[in-house]
């Protein structure tokens, strides 16, 4: 079971920096970033994407196994 949920909030300004550092992101036709895979076992490059985002729009939430 996946351990982390990846969320791009509506604070995204579509700057594309997350796309450059992590292949789990793509800019949609709306001009904003979306994660390709929303539930992952490892944070991997999602952490770098969250760090580089200038508006902190990328959230990585631990999934509580008891709630799923
Ligand atoms: S780095 Fe942040 S603001 Fe820029 S496209 Fe990615 S999620 Fe959006």
Q: 67 in a domain, yes or no?
A: no
Domain membership of residue 14 (yes or no) is yes
Looking from the CA of 30 toward its CB, the CA atoms found within 13 Å total: 6
Measure the CA–CA gap between 42 and 24, rounded to whole angstroms: 12
Q: Does 54 map to a domain?
A: yes
Q: What are phi and psi of 52, to 5 degrees?
A: -85, -20
| pLDDT at site 66 | 56
What integer pLDDT is reported at residue 16 of this predicted model? 98
Give the per-residue pLDDT at 2: 87
Q: Are the C-beta atoms of residues 38 and 5 closer than 8 Å to each other?
A: yes
Domain region containing 17: 4-62
Domain membership flag for residue 10: yes
The number of folded domains in the chain is: 1
**Within a domain: residue 30?**
yes
Distance 61 CA to ligand 1 centre (A): 17
The protein residue whose alpha carbon is closest to atom 1 in ligand 1 is 53
Model confidence, pTM? 0.92
- Looking at residue 64, its pLDDT comes to 80
Which stretch of DSSP H or E encloses residue 59? Answer: strand 58-62
Task: Provide residues with CB under 6 Å of ligand 1.
Answer: 8, 12-18, 33, 53, 55, 57-58
Q: Report the CATH number that the domain containing residue 27 is assigned in CATH.
A: 3.30.70.20
Per-residue pLDDT tens, the chain, 68 aa: give them: 789 999 999 999 999 999 999 999 999 999 999 999 999 999 999 999 999 999 999 999 999 865 54
């Amino acid at each position: 079971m996946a351990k982390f949920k990846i969320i791009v909030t509506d604070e995204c300004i579509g700057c594309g920096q997350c796309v450059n550092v992590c292949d789990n992101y793509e800019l949609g036709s709306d001009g904003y970033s979306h994660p390709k895979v929303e539930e992952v076992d490892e944070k991997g490059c999602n952490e770098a994407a969250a760090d580089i985002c200038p508006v902190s729009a990328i959230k990585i939430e631990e999934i509580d196994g008891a709630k799923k």
